[in-house]
Amino acid sequence: MDETRALLACPACGGPLSAEWSCTACAIPFHIHDGIPNLRLRSDDVTETVRMFYETAPFPAYSPGETLESLRARGERNAFARLLDRSIPGDARIVDVGCGTGQMCLFLARADRVVVGADLTRASLALAAAAAARFGVDRVQFVETNLLHAGLRRGAFDVVYSSGVVHHTRDPRAAFGKLVELARPGGVIVVGLYNAIARIPTRLRRIVARVSGYRVVPFDRVLRDRTHESDRRKAWLRDQYRHPEEHRHTIGEVQRWLAEFGVAYLRTYPSTVFDDTPEDLFTPAADNWAVERWLTQVEWMRTLGREGGLFCVIGVRS
């Protein structure tokens, strides 16, 4: 607990926290319940709407009978998760901002890594903490907090990972800047966002879903695969088609954010370079040609578009 407590901070002033969970700088008291510190300050209405949305249906849901072995086996079958795990050093300090039910945290919590999973939603964090206890994973700390006023120590993390969060904030560019603050100089930022072009198929499916009262969602492979897993199916349906706040971004737009906040661009996942299959996510791509980027994003409608159009951008803080 002491090791992970040092990675947390007062969300109001950024000061360190005492053993009694009060700020040693401004003396604001905080509380911990069921092992999950509440370091969340009330924020804007959009943030509160998103928080209440996920309180109703935490995402992603766990499969019935999930074990640590089955979770890691499922992660190993995911090419991105497998590559991320192999790219992160065994002694890294990792934060997963918007960790949801903590599945990526538990997958990455191996070797001597220390992982902090941060989320707005206590219902999601309760599932995450329960799974960690059930699986016997003790190098993960879950914390209830808001990215815009994060109860996380600035400049403390070797890897800042956040997927599916920034595009659900009122101001995604500002939210990205908050992520950058958490990384140490030389630390890696991995951010997952909806691509403006690859998201088009989902937006078309959403029209049909809304017209049918969400009874019909055509050509959604994920929903089809979860026919017999009602909780996971419900969570996916809500997250993809009924979310109250959503933004979409091009690669070029996110690259401008990186330049503005002092982050050196490494690559995207999937790669924008044709025939590029990286063995390490944290190495620079061979090229960064604008024409190739646009062609790739159009192609993503056929590939990533099947599962929501999420892509990742990876960079290193200067």
Q: What is the pLDDT of residues 252-293, one digit of tens each?
A: 999 999 999 999 999 999 999 987 888 899 999 988 889 999
Please indicate, yes or no, whether residues 94 and 209 belong to a single structural domain of this protein: no
Please indicate, yes or no, whether residues 218 and 268 belong to a single structural domain of this protein: no
pLDDT band at 146 (very low <50, low <70, confident <90, very high): very high
Residue 169 counted as domain residue: yes
Please indicate, yes or no, whether residues 129 and 141 belong to a single structural domain of this protein: yes
pTM of the predicted structure, to 2 decimals: 0.92
Please indicate, yes or no, whether residues 152 and 301 belong to a single structural domain of this protein: yes
Residue 24 counted as domain residue: no
* Cα angle, residue 79 at apex, residues 73 and 83 outer, rounded to 5°: 95
Helix (H) or strand (E) holding 234: helix 230-241
Residue 50 counted as domain residue: yes
Residue 55 counted as domain residue: yes
* Distance separating alpha carbons of residues 47 and 116, to the nearest angstrom: 21
Q: What pLDDT, in 10s, does the model give residues 108-126?
A: 999 999 999 999 999 999 9
- Nearest Cα neighbor of 7 from 125, 96, 106, 104 is 96
186 neighbors 317 (Cβ within 8 angstroms): yes
- Domains: count for the chain: 2
Please indicate, yes or no, whether residues 115 and 219 belong to a single structural domain of this protein: no
Q: 226: which 2 tokens?
A: 């979860």
Instruction: Inform me whether the pLDDT recorded for 165 exceeds 60.
Output: yes
Contacts 24+ apart (CB under 8 A), 12-19: 12/41, 12/149, 14/153, 14/154, 16/153
Q: Which domain holds residue 232?
A: 204-239
Please indicate, yes or no, whether residues 267 and 218 belong to a single structural domain of this protein: no
Can you give the pLDDT at residue 57? 67
Please indicate, yes or no, whether residues 167 and 254 belong to a single structural domain of this protein: yes
For the chain, the residue count is: 318
Residue 110 counted as domain residue: yes
Can you give the pLDDT at residue 61? 73
CA atoms lying within 13 Å on the CB side of residue 240: 29
Please indicate, yes or no, whether residues 92 and 214 belong to a single structural domain of this protein: no
Strand stretches in 181-317, DSSP E: 183-194, 263-269, 310-317
Q: What pLDDT, in 10s, does the model give residues 199-244?
A: 999 999 999 988 998 888 888 888 888 877 777 788 788 889 988 8
- Nearest Cα neighbor of 187 from 56, 315, 20 is 315
* Distance separating alpha carbons of residues 24 and 220, to the nearest angstrom: 50
Please indicate, yes or no, whether residues 189 and 248 belong to a single structural domain of this protein: yes
Task: Give the residue from 217, 239, 261 where a domain finishes.
Answer: 239
Q: What pLDDT, in 10s, does the model give residues 51-105?
A: 888 777 676 778 778 899 999 999 999 999 999 999 999 999 999 999 999 999 9
- Nearest Cα neighbor of 266 from 190, 185, 159 is 190
Please indicate, yes or no, whether residues 60 and 188 belong to a single structural domain of this protein: yes
CA atoms lying within 13 Å on the CB side of residue 252: 10
Residue 156 belongs to a domain with what CATH number?
A: 3.40.50.150
User: Which amino acid does the sequence have at 35?
Assistant: G
pLDDT band at 192 (very low <50, low <70, confident <90, very high): very high
Indicate the DSSP class of residue 167.
Answer: G
Instruction: Inform me whether the pLDDT recorded for 168 exceeds 70.
Output: yes
Residue 1 counted as domain residue: no
Listed in sequence order, the DSSP H helices in the chain are: 2-5, 45-56, 68-77, 79-87, 103-108, 122-135, 172-182, 200-211, 221-225, 230-241, 251-260, 290-300
* Distance separating alpha carbons of residues 202 and 316, to the nearest angstrom: 31
Please indicate, yes or no, whether residues 55 and 77 belong to a single structural domain of this protein: yes
Residue 13 counted as domain residue: no
Please indicate, yes or no, whether residues 170 and 231 belong to a single structural domain of this protein: no
Can you give the pLDDT at residue 1? 57
Q: How far is CA 51 from CA 95, 100, 214, 230, 247, in A?
A: 19, 11, 22, 22, 16
* Beta strand pairing call for 93-97 and 157-163: parallel
* Distance separating alpha carbons of residues 177 and 167, to the nearest angstrom: 13
175 neighbors 165 (Cβ within 8 angstroms): yes
123 neighbors 102 (Cβ within 8 angstroms): no
- Nearest Cα neighbor of 33 from 122, 109, 113 is 122
Handedness of CA 129, 282, 302, 50 (dihedral sign): positive
Residue 26 counted as domain residue: no
Task: Give the residue from 216, 239, 262 where a domain finishes.
Answer: 239
